[in-house]
Structure 1
Amino acid sequence: MTDLFFRMGELFSGPGGMALGARLAAQEVDGIELRHAWANDFDRDTCRTYFRNILEPEFGESARLVDDSADLGQDGVGVVHQNVRDLDIDALGAIEGFAFGFPCNDYSLVGEWKGLAGTYGPLYSYGVKVLAAKRPKWFVAENVSGLRGANEGRAFRQILQHLQSPTDGVSYRIVPHLYSFDQYGVPQRRQRIVIVGIREDLDVEFRVPSPEIYEGVDVTVQTALTSPHIHPHAPNHEFTKQSANVIERLSYLLPGENVFSPRVLQVLPDHLRINTKTTISTTYRRLEPHKPAYTITGGGGGGSHGYHWVLNRALTNRERARLQSFPDDFIFEGGKESVRKQVGMAVPVLGAQAVFTALFRSFAGIEYPWIEPNITLERVLQAERDRAA
């Protein structure tokens, strides 16, 4: 069989979870050659992380980190640190594959849920512009589960329709699905919508990979963080200096409990209580060692850092990265809070690998166990009609 060669571009690339997952998938599937072409993110530390871990190992000194897409050039390989609104898409090189985890801020259930009316909601349209300009053979788009309900479902419908038909003369067969990544080898209960599209003129059909492929994979927190143990001097493994109050507060919590758990409220002294009307279930919540972690986030104040199941402390960034299935030799650039944001906003590596492996097997004509998608454009349209009735 002739090898299939894909140059891949990315918008909203993050530190490289999607890219590393795609690389590992290409190595896993015979007959697939993947070459990273260009990537873009608005955060400089994130771009430095992507450059260090994704581009330098593959291209060495020929890869570049630039602050303007025009400086990269049609034949250039690199990551562009630039606001996507200022990106010159036409200046970027040709690609056969495209990935983008468009910003989720306005679609997340933790927030105001502004959807398309928010600052970040319309940014998916820049991915549509790439599809229209570059016409890649495939794309992979990722966002939070709350995307389905934003703007009473209108936002999701619009996004799916635009991805299906980005411009006259090119269209894609799209397969949206709500994945729970703990079913695909990730030690974290992280639910995300992934939309895979294959250009309509290609005789290739993508099917959602079945979780049964990953049955038997240990996705428990304890295994993820202790097998093997993290080296004390591992990169990004700085411990947070916990206040005396935090240490004392955590000492009252059992695995899986948070400060609002019924038992904890009965025993927690008044000076350690959290006085708020918003009782978010992950506030100072301990992990459960024999289960996958709850969703790791990239921001938030006290009580939102993720907490060890028995030690009275927050997780380190290296531990968070393991729960996002990043290998220990993947080094994040920037200060501790910058790294925390990068880790929490990333696509889990093994989750991305599962999707890309199925995608590449589809192109290579290799059969694999699959399931029906739990989302279709037809159902989305019907749901919108039902709400309007």
Structure 2
Amino acid sequence: MSKEVFRLGELFCGPGGIACGAHNAVSDDGEKSIVHVWANDFDPDTCETYTKNICHGDGSSVYCSDVRELDIPSLGPIDAFAYGFPCNSFSNVGEHQGLENDKFGQLYTYGVEVLKYYQPKWFLAENVSGIRSAGDGSHFKIILDDLANAGYTLVTNMYKFEEYGVPQTRHRIIIVGIRNDLDAQGIKFKVPSPEPYKNCDISAGTALANIPADAPNNEIRKLQDKVRLRLSYIKPGQNIWQVENLPPELMIKTRTKISQIYRKLDPSKPSYTVTAAGGGGTFMYHWSDEQRELTNRERARIQTFPDDFEFIGKYSSVRKQIGMAVPPKGAEIIFRAILNTFAGIEYPSVEPSMS
């Protein structure tokens, strides 16, 4: 089998979670790999982070602009494509707006345009699990039909990343498409089995251990005394609603009892989902007696970014970038399966959870 390097283009690239996983992936015979060609995102800090870590500081191939203003035909030929189109319309946190009357819901179509124009050999698309129920399921079907009609055979699966060695309960829909002519030749992607990862230690305690003293983005944010006192009543693994005899002055008022409000990690279990935004009580909290929220580096650890991956921007911007990213380790596993598919190498697989 001859060597083959797939040239990867990305829309909505984020800080580089997908790209990091792609660059670490290689087929089991060492013959198939992936290289960055171009990427696009709207947020300047995100683009700077991607440029620094994925492109070694050379931002000439990173297009920081609104995708609606992007000149897609000028980007350059690619063999592979990846995009995590914005999930604002499909997340279970908040209202489902979906495709109708929402400026974010239609952004997936720019990925379809890339597929039609460049006809890469394969693609990977990612979104939140809530996309399945948007518009009573009809919106997701429209998206799948549009991707398939661009000329691709789809394999759609909801990946529970904690089953693949990621120390976090993070569930995401991943769509892998193989170009129809290649699928007809027998190049058929299969969902990689989580079985090889069943004995991985994915506890938060292990994930957050031994962070180097000089690791970037590791500053501890100062909390108000009242918040620290409130946290002192919360045990590891608990949230504020599970505390008995909480003094009235420390109680909070909210219309919905979200489980992640003032919730501490349990060091013996995987972390709960790292989120990109949220108000008071949603910052994720350490189990130690320090009574503090996680640092951004600790959030990045849970997302499986390497310690030398430096995020650019102020604290809230970095938190957002980390929370919106695809875990590099999870992406790497899926990309390796794609590369093995093209190399003709069998690997442990399971039936897709969605069809």
Which residue of structure 2 aligns with residue 305 of structure 1?
283
Q: Please report the RMSD computed on the Cα atoms of aligned residues, expressed in angstroms.
A: 1.1
Partners of 2:212 and 2:225 lie apart in 1 by 26
Are the aligned partners of 1:4 and 1:364 in contact in 2 as well (CA < 8 Å)?
no
Partners of 2:205 and 2:166 lie apart in 1 by 13
**Number of residues of Structure 1 aligned to a counterpart in Structure 2:** 350
Query: Structure 2 stretches of 5 or more lacking a match?
Result: none
Partners of 1:28 and 1:362 lie apart in 2 by 10
Partners of 2:313 and 2:340 lie apart in 1 by 36
Deviation for aligned residue 1:248? 0.5
2:225 corresponds to which of 244, 254, 279: 244
1:322 corresponds to which of 297, 301, 304: 301
Are the aligned partners of 1:287 and 1:294 in contact in 2 as well (CA < 8 Å)?
yes
Deviation for aligned residue 1:217? 1.2
Q: Deviations over 1:38-93 (max 9, x none)?
A: 0000001100111111111xxx6xx434xxxxxxxxxxxx1100000101101110
SS at match of 1:121: coil
Are the aligned partners of 1:11 and 1:41 in contact in 2 as well (CA < 8 Å)?
yes
Counterparts in 2 of 1:151 and 1:281: CA distance versus 1, 3 Å: same
Are the aligned partners of 2:305 and 2:328 in contact in 1 as well (CA < 8 Å)?
yes
5 Å matches for 1:329-348?
329-348=308-327
Are the aligned partners of 1:180 and 1:192 in contact in 2 as well (CA < 8 Å)?
yes
SS at match of 1:115: coil
Which residue of structure 2 aligns with residue 295 of structure 1?
273
Is 1:233 aligned with 2:223?
no
Are the aligned partners of 2:22 and 2:35 in contact in 1 as well (CA < 8 Å)?
no
Partners of 1:89 and 1:152 lie apart in 2 by 32
Are the aligned partners of 2:28 and 2:345 in contact in 1 as well (CA < 8 Å)?
no
Counterparts in 2 of 1:337 and 1:330: CA distance versus 1, 3 Å: same
Structure 1 segments (4+ residues) deviating >3 Å? none
5 Å matches for 1:261-300?
261=242, 264=243, 266-300=244-278
Aligned letter for 1:113? H
Which residue of structure 2 aligns with residue 190 of structure 1?
170
Deviates more, 1:113-122 or 1:358-367: 113-122
Q: Which has the higher helix share?
A: 1
Are the aligned partners of 1:29 and 1:360 in contact in 2 as well (CA < 8 Å)?
no
Aligned letter for 2:69? D
5 Å matches for 1:142-181?
142-166=126-150, 171-181=151-161
Which residue of structure 1 aligns with residue 109 of structure 2?
125
Deviation for aligned residue 1:214? 1.2
SS at match of 1:53: helix
Identity %: 53
Deviation for aligned residue 1:278? 1.1
5 Å matches for 1:61-76?
63-65=58-60
Is 1:215 aligned with 2:198?
yes
Which residue of structure 2 aligns with residue 104 of structure 1?
87
Are the aligned partners of 1:254 and 1:310 in contact in 2 as well (CA < 8 Å)?
no
Q: Deviations over 1:283-329 (max 9, x none)?
A: 01011111110000010111111101223110000000000000100
What TM-score does the superposition give when structure 2 sets the normalisation length?
0.97
Query: Structure 1 stretches of 5 or more lacking a match?
Result: 66-77, 377-389
Partners of 2:266 and 2:139 lie apart in 1 by 35
Which residue of structure 2 aligns with residue 49 of structure 1?
49
